Amino acid sequence: MIASFAIFLAMLLPASGSQEPDPHKESFGSTPDGKPVDVYTFTNAHRIEVRVINYGGIITALRVPDRNGKLDDIVLGFDNLAGYLNNKPYFGAIIGRYANRIANGKFSLDGRDYTLAKNNGPNSLHGGSRGFNNVLWRADPFRNRQGRGVILSYLSKDGEEGYPGNLDVKVTYTLSDANELLVDYLATADKATPINLTQHTYFNLGGEGNGDVLAEELRLNADRFTPIDKDLIPTGEIRLVKGTPLDFTQSTRIGARINDPYDQLLFAHGYDHNFVLKAAEGRLQLAARVHEPNRGRVLEVSTTQPGIQFYSANFLDGTLVGKHGHRYKQREAFCLETQHFPDSPNHANFPSTILRPGKTFHSRTVFKFSVQ
Ligand code: GLA
């Protein structure tokens, strides 16, 4: 009782140095059918600021200090809701029911064949034509001992985009005073269904709109990856990175080998690959570390998931107008999407993505910021 009163009081109190309660909510416009969209802003003790909207669970801004204490927004996005309503690159969004591709939009489960919405050539990408990135989530802001943030909830109905069963999903963003943004995913279903949830933020540690990320140095805790074909579908092979331009076991500039004539890079026009993480699924492990040498920002990504998609923003082509009028071009960001492997429902040798009734899916990803 006393504890909950203290939490209630804490929610009313302004964050240090600001007049606003933390988290605080403001209007971010409304959807074409008139539903209000809000933006939730929360800030930690070291001035890191996160903005999240309840449309798509999108992280619209992430302001992080550099080595001189200068704050920059390090994620790509749009200035207003209109941009996010037509968010082709999936800037900042929660992805589901199934992140990445399912070949030919088809899979079989327990003897039944399922057909999904195809929205990427012959394949289904990121949950179909109206994935979790394009729906309104219920949002509940909170503060607790770990930090402050927002809990997003969504009920994906039986049959939505072709997937079986009602799926109850909760995604919690928590910003801690240890400079971590924790993303916790929780899901239950009333029929067996494939599920693969991720977060599709485009990072540029030099600041969004500030040029390409080719000089940023990446280390991945993975000595294997899942090769793809020309439609970016895994072939089923699990290949060693050793001796290939996908070897990031030592910190290496993203641009060092990106134009090598290696079939995997040619298919994807750069990096767009699922890396197999070393530790067993379910254990929080450091998956990736990126260092931006000019401003000194470091991002570390830890996860309980078995894979991580490293995407070098190959499809950005300067046609979209983003924040502050910035036209984002190819390789002006990177994504590190923690996940299960793409197209797992069609590959028996990949870790299973099937969630069954009575079971709870839980995964955690932590984005930690520091300077070097
Ligand atoms: C993921 C995919 C890419 C691309 C982007 C969205 O990263 O792996 O191929 O579709 O999403 O543009």
pLDDT in tens, 310-347: 999 999 999 999 999 999 999 999 999 999 999 999 99
Q: Could you tell me the distance, in angstroms and rounded to a whole number, from the CA of residue 273 to the centre of ligand 1?
A: 9
In this structure, the residue with its CA closest to atom 9 of ligand 1 is: 272
What is the pLDDT, as a whole number, of residue 4?
A: 54
DSSP 8-state assignment for residue 61 = E
Are the C-beta atoms of residues 174 and 184 closer than 8 Å to each other?
A: yes
Question: Based on the structure, what is the number of domains in the chain?
Answer: 1
Q: Which two tokens stand for residue 84?
A: 């996010």
The set of long-range contacts for 41-45, using a CB threshold of 8 Å and a minimum separation of 24, is 42/141, 42/148, 42/149, 42/150, 42/175, 43/15, 43/18, 43/175, 44/147, 44/148, 44/175, 44/176, 44/177, 44/179, 45/16, 45/177
* Residue located via tokens 């830890």: 302
In which domain, by residue range, is 367 found? 5-371
Position in ligand 1 atom list of the atom nearest CA 88: 12
Q: Where are the alpha helices (DSSP H) in 81-187?
A: 81-85
CA 311–ligand 1 middle distance (angstroms): 7
Locate tokens 């790509």: which residue?
Answer: 76
The answer to whether residue 18 scores a pLDDT higher than 90 is no
Residue-wise pLDDT tens digits, 246-284: 999 999 999 999 999 999 999 999 999 999 999 878 899
pTM of the model: 0.94
Query: What are the pLDDT digits (tens) for 62-102?
Result: 999 999 999 999 999 999 999 999 999 999 999 999 999 99
Confidence of residue 13 (pLDDT cuts 50, 70, 90): very low
Find out whether the peptide bond into 97 is cis, omega within 30 degrees of 0. yes
Q: What order of strands is seen across the sheet that includes strand 224-226?
A: 239-240, 224-226, 272-276, 307-311, 335-339
What is the CA 49 to chain-centroid distance, rounded? 17
230 phi and psi, to 5 degrees? -70, -20
> What CATH number did the domain enclosing 53 receive?
2.70.98.10
**Active site residues per annotation:** 200, 337
